[in-house]
Structure 1
Amino acid sequence: MVDITETYVDSLALNSAAIKNGRDLVKKNSFPKLCLSDDRTLVFGECKGSGKEPYRCSADYIKPESPVFRCSCPSRQFPCKHILGLLYAYAAGAPFQTEDIPEEIADKREKVQKREDKKQESLAEGQTEPAAKRKTNKSALVKKIAAQLDGLQLLNKLVRDIVQTGLAGVDAKALRTLEEQAKQLGNYYLPGAQASFRELLQLLGQGNQRERDYTEAMDRLTYLHMLAKKSTEYLTARKENPDLSMATDSAIEELLGHAWQLAELKEAGLVLADAELLQLGFHSNTDEVRGEYVDEGWWIHLQTGAIYSSRHYRPFRAAKHIKEEDSMAAVVQAKECFVYPGDVNPRIRWESVSFREPQRGDWDIARSHSHRSYAEAVKMVKNQIKNPLSDKHPVVLLHASRLFRAGDTYAIADEAGKTIALSDLEHIGHPGTQLLPLLKDEHREGQAVLVMFGHDLDTGRLHAQPLGIVTDNGLVRLI
């Protein structure tokens, strides 16, 4: 059975409310019966509910990598608060009595095993070779690409219309017309491009700080122009030769709106085997244009020192039924960690993981991977930001010889004396520098600082917001 800790149970919960409700059940002694099978593969029990009969809940670890949760309650959240409470009780060391596996669960196990045996028999009898990979329907692919190319022509036209009209000429009436035309992009398999164009329209419709908004709007128009240009070149090549694989050396597929399947990433070799990852930063935000909540984390791969990002999307309409991500203190151990095409901080995802508590050596390893030369780190960041289609807010782990006050704000310096000023970024929308005066003296020298860079379009200067400080024995989170 897996090591059931509070961190592990937290990771199973859909949201913070489910965590609280599960913990509350334990505090209220709502479990009159707590049981464990003799082979320790099944945790089960009974929980008091609103009715006369208690709810019967269980966590089946006959296959530790894919546990099965069951509960007799009518909740649509899964795992429900009763299962979470059962596991929290186990993690807290509550007394569990050893009992035989209930007959209904034993029957379900038997049915699953029979299906598995039958599957293995079929493979042994008629399939000595692995199943052939599903072939791409080239005709359908060419039709889809042709539609996407038509959509990119429309996007190019919309961008040109705005440029020819002038930003000041985009009034309320023009915005309504552009909104209607933007809806048409949804008919061309370009959800990513459509969302980016609608973000531009939202910016133009604000009218709060016109000069600043216009500067950002010009940057977004440049992005949309380059997206249409590069995507047209890329898709034209694929249309002429449908056997070409999807691009994995850039994020262009995702920018257009392709949702990568894990099987596609694995086929492309974009997998980290036996990865150990330590989260160094976490942030949640609301994307009004796309209509979803976004939970984003930044992780260091302990084996290589690469900084990856994880993004979890929860559409507004289904948010309460989708697991809400949270900050993670444990080391995540993934047999297979899938890497999306990207730039400095590629997105990662996994299907199943185990956890362990971080040791002092883990923090030492993380710190050893930090960039010691700011000149080299800044050069890398600038090269990414110069690319119109790249992420404009790369995250980098920097070694800080010292962290000090510089006028009204703070700065960090490398061993050569080169400094980087620290300030809050509008992109994050959550201040972090205000916490710097609260740091202990020992956290101001010889530590590693995780920063997010941003480019001020008005001044042309780079800004960096600290997200966290990696010390020799832990992490100080600043957002």
Structure 2
Amino acid sequence: MVTITEAYVDAAALNAAAIKNGRDLVKKNSFPKLCRSEDGTLLFGECKGSGKEPYRCSADWIQEDSPVYRCSCPSRQFPCKHILGLMYAYTSGKTFTVESIPPDIAEKREKANQREAKKKEAAADPAAAPPAKRKSSKAALAKKRAAQLEGIGLLEKLVRQTVQHGLASLDAKTLKLLGDQAKELGNYYIPGVQAEFRELLEILAGAKEREGVYTLVMDRLLRLHMLTKRSREYLEARVQNPELPMDTDSALEEQLGHAWQTAELKEQGLLERDASLLQLSFRSYADTARGEHVDEGVWIELGSGRIGMTRNYRPFKAAKFIKEEDTVAAVVQTKELFLYPGGLNRRIRWEDMTMREPEAADYAAAWSHAIRSYAEALKSVKNRIKHPLADKHPVLLLHYSRLGRTEDSFVIKDEQGRQLPLSDTADFGQAATVLLSQLDAVWTRDGAVLVRFSHDWSTGRLLVQPLSLITAGGLIRLAY
């Protein structure tokens, strides 16, 4: 049976409210019946509800990396608070009686086994496999591409209007009009491009003095110009030749609204097998330009040292029905790690996984991948952010021989003696450097720091925000 910890249950919960409600059920002794199977792969029980009959809930690990949760309650949140409460009862040491597996669950297990057997037979004999699902018709794809091109044309028009008005003369009424027109971009299957323009309008609307954000606005205008230019070239090429391969060297397809499926990523070779990952940092924030909450985790693949990102998008209107991701302390092991097209810090995902407690060897592996030359790191970052369409906030793991404090700031020093000042950045939304003053001395030597770079447009300097610290024996998160 999988090792169930409180962290494991927290990670399964839809959001923080679900965690609280599940824990409250245990505190209130709402489970008159708590049972487990003899082999430990099934927890099941009954929980008091608002009606006469209790809710019957279960957590099934017959397939360890793909748990199945069941409950008789009508909740649309899943796993519901009753299932979470069942698991919290187990982690808190409540007594679970060993009983036979209920007949209805045994029947569902048997049907699942039959489906799995059929999949294996199909994989072994492709000729016997059922017909593949029909792909989208060429006519539908051509229609979508034409709509996207029309949307790009509308965006170009809006950008011209913004510039022709003059940045200094854009009043609230004009910005609202442009914002209303920007909403129309949602009809053209280009959500990422639409978000870029709405973010520009937010910067202009929120600036007390336009002169203070002039450089930033010009950068965003350049980015929009390059994005529309490249999008138009790409879409026109795909219209002329629908057989052209998809762009897997950048995030352009995703910006144009394509939702990558795991089958597509596997077909493109964007896959790494038998990966072990350790989460180094986590944050949730509201992206008002996209109209979504974003749960963002920063992970290191312990074998290769690759720094990747998980991003869970929850639209504001449907956020309460979508699982809210949370920080993960365990090591995640997956047979297939999917890599999205992109740059330095690719978006990653997995379907099935197992979790285990991190060991000293895991921290040592992460620490060993840290970049030891700041000159090399800064050269790489500067070359990347110069490109208008590149990610402006690359994340790197840097080794430091010393971490200390000067009169102005905390600094890290590499083995060549070069120093980098650390500072908080307003766009990140979390203060971290203040926590460095609480470090024990052991953390100030021969460690690694996960940092997020930002470009300060007012000074032209690179800002370096610390996110976490790693030594060969442990991890301290400054953002979680």
Q: Which residue of 2 aligns with 1:401?
A: 401
Deviation at 1:313, TM superposition (A): 0.9
Deviation at 1:5, TM superposition (A): 2.3
Alpha-carbon deviation of 1:87?
1.4
Query: After superposition, where does 1:259-408 map in structure 2 within 5 Å?
Result: 259-408=259-408
Structure 2 CA distance for aligned equivalents of residues 189 and 175 of structure 1: 23
Which moved further from structure 2: 157-166 or 305-314?
A: 157-166
Amino acid at match of 2:442: E
Classify 1:305/1:173 alpha carbon distance in 2 versus 1 (closer, same or farther; 3 Å).
Answer: same
CA distance in 1, matches of 2:3, 2:212: 52
Alignment-derived partner of residue 206 in structure 1: 206
Deviation at 1:8, TM superposition (A): 1.8
Q: Structure 1 residues 253 and 118, CA, compared in 2 at 3 Å: closer, same or farther? A: closer
Three-state SS of the structure 2 residue aligned to 1:168 is: helix
Cα distance in 2, alignment partners of residues 266 and 123 from structure 1: 16
The 2-side partners of 1:215 and 1:135 are apart by 45
**Are the equivalent residues in 2 in contact too, given 1:293–1:314 (CA < 8 A)?**
yes
Structure 1 residues 28-107: aligned runs within 5 Å: 28-107=28-107
- The match for 1:145 is 145
1:124 & 1:357 partners in 2: Cα distance? 35
Q: 1:115 to 1:318 in 2, by over 3 A?
A: same
Provide the secondary structure at the position in 2 that maps to 1:364. helix
CA distance in 1, matches of 2:232, 2:258: 15
C-alpha deviation, 1:349, in angstroms: 1.1
Please give the alpha-carbon distance, in whole angstroms, between the structure 2 residues aligned to 1:353 and 1:126. 27
Give the structure 2 partner of residue 467 of structure 1: 467
- Greater displacement, 162-171 / 363-372: 162-171
Segments of 5+ residues of structure 2 without an aligned counterpart are: none
Q: Determine the C-alpha separation between the residues in 2 that align with 1:129 and 1:28.
A: 51
- For residues 199 and 123 of structure 1, what CA distance do their matches in structure 2 show? 47
Q: Could you say which residue in structure 1 is the equivalent of 2:154?
A: 154
Partners of 2:114 and 2:372 lie apart in 1 by 58
1:234 aligns with 2:234: yes
Q: Which 10-residue stretch deviates more, 370-379 or 308-317? A: 308-317
Q: Deviations over 1:400-446 (max 9, x none)?
A: 11111122211111000111111111120111111111111111111
Provide the C-alpha distance between the structure 2 equivalents of 1:118 and 1:362, rounded to a whole number of angstroms: 38
CA shift in 2, pair 1:237/1:98, >3 Å:
same
Superposed displacement of residue 230, structure 1:
1.1
Q: Provide Cα deviations, 1:349-382, integer angstroms capped at 9, x if missing partner.
A: 1122110100001111101000000011111111
TM-superposed deviation, 1:47: 2.0
| 1:40 aligned partner, one-letter code | G
Indicate the SS of the match to 2:183: helix
- Partners of 1:330 and 1:355 within 8 A in 2: yes
Q: Relative to 1, partners in 2 of residues 1:280 and 1:126: Cα closer, same or farther, differing over 3 Å?
A: closer
Q: What letter matches 1:382 in structure 2?
A: K
Using the size of structure 1 for normalisation, the TM-score is: 0.94
Q: Which SS does the other structure have where 1:285 is aligned? A: strand
| Distance in 1 between residues matched to 2:97 and 2:357, nearest whole Å | 27
Q: 1:139 to 1:77 in 2, by over 3 A?
A: closer
Question: C-alpha separation between the residues in 2 aligned to 1:2 and 1:150?
Answer: 51
TM-score (norm 2): 0.94
- Identify if the C-alpha distance between structure 1 residues 55 and 132 changes in structure 2 by more than 3 Å, giving closer, same or farther: closer
Query: Post-superposition shift, 1:301?
Result: 0.5
Contact 1:423 1:433 in 2 (8 A): yes
Greater mean alpha carbon deviation, residues 220-229 or residues 318-327? 318-327
Structure 1 Cα separation of the partners of residues 471 and 113 of structure 2: 48
- Return 5+ residue gaps in structure 1 as ranges: none
How far apart are 1:117 and its partner, in Å?
A: 6.3
* Structure 2 CA distance for aligned equivalents of residues 124 and 411 of structure 1: 58
Partners of 1:204 and 1:214 within 8 A in 2? no
CA contact (8 A) 2:66 2:353 kept: no
Which residue identity is paired with 1:187? Answer: N
For residues 271-312 of structure 1, the C-alpha deviation after alignment (integer angstroms, 9 at most, x for no partner) is 121110001111111112222111111100000001101111
| Alpha-carbon distance between aligned partners in 1 of 2:105 and 2:17, rounded to the nearest angstrom | 29
- Counterpart-to-counterpart distance in 2, 1:152 and 1:358: 47
Please show how residues 207-226 of structure 1 align to structure 2 within 5 Å. Answer: 207-226=207-226
What residue number does 2:26 align with? Answer: 26
Select between 143-152 and 343-352 the one with higher mean Cα deviation. Answer: 143-152
Q: 2:333 & 2:295 partners in 1: Cα distance?
A: 20
Q: 1:119 to 1:343 in 2, by over 3 A?
A: closer
Q: SS of 1:217's equivalent?
A: helix
Count the aligned residue pairs.
Answer: 479
Using the alignment, how far apart are the partners of 1:263 and 1:85 within structure 2?
Answer: 35
Residue-by-residue CA offset, 1:197-243 (whole Å, 9 max, x unaligned): 11111221223232222222111111100001111121222112110
1:178 paired to 2:178: yes
| Mapped partners of 1:118, 1:283: distance in 2 | 41
Distance 1:220 1:363, change over 3 A: same
SS for the counterpart of 1:58 is strand
Deviation at 1:120, TM superposition (A): 7.5
1:252 shift after superposition: 1.0
CA distance in 2, matches of 1:419, 1:122: 59
Residue in 2 aligned with 1:108?
Answer: 108
C-alpha spacing 1:381/1:40, structure 2 compared with 1 (3 Å): same
Instruction: Indicate conservation of the 8 Å contact 2:275/2:336, yes or no.
Output: yes
Q: Distance in 2 between matches of 1:10 and 1:385?
A: 36
Letter of the structure 1 residue corresponding to residue 211 of structure 2: E
Q: 2:28 is matched by which residue type in structure 1?
A: K
Deviation at 1:180, TM superposition (A): 3.0
CA distance in 1, matches of 2:260, 2:108: 34
Q: Secondary structure at the match of 2:457?
A: coil
Q: Residue 122 of structure 2 contacts residue 129 of structure 2 at CA under 8 Å; is this kept in 1? A: no
Q: In 2, distance between residues paired with 1:420 and 1:237?
A: 44
Q: Match for 1:385: what amino acid?
A: I
Deviation at 1:25, TM superposition (A): 2.5
Residue type at the aligned position of 1:364: A
Aligned residue type for 1:290: R
1:167 maps to: 167
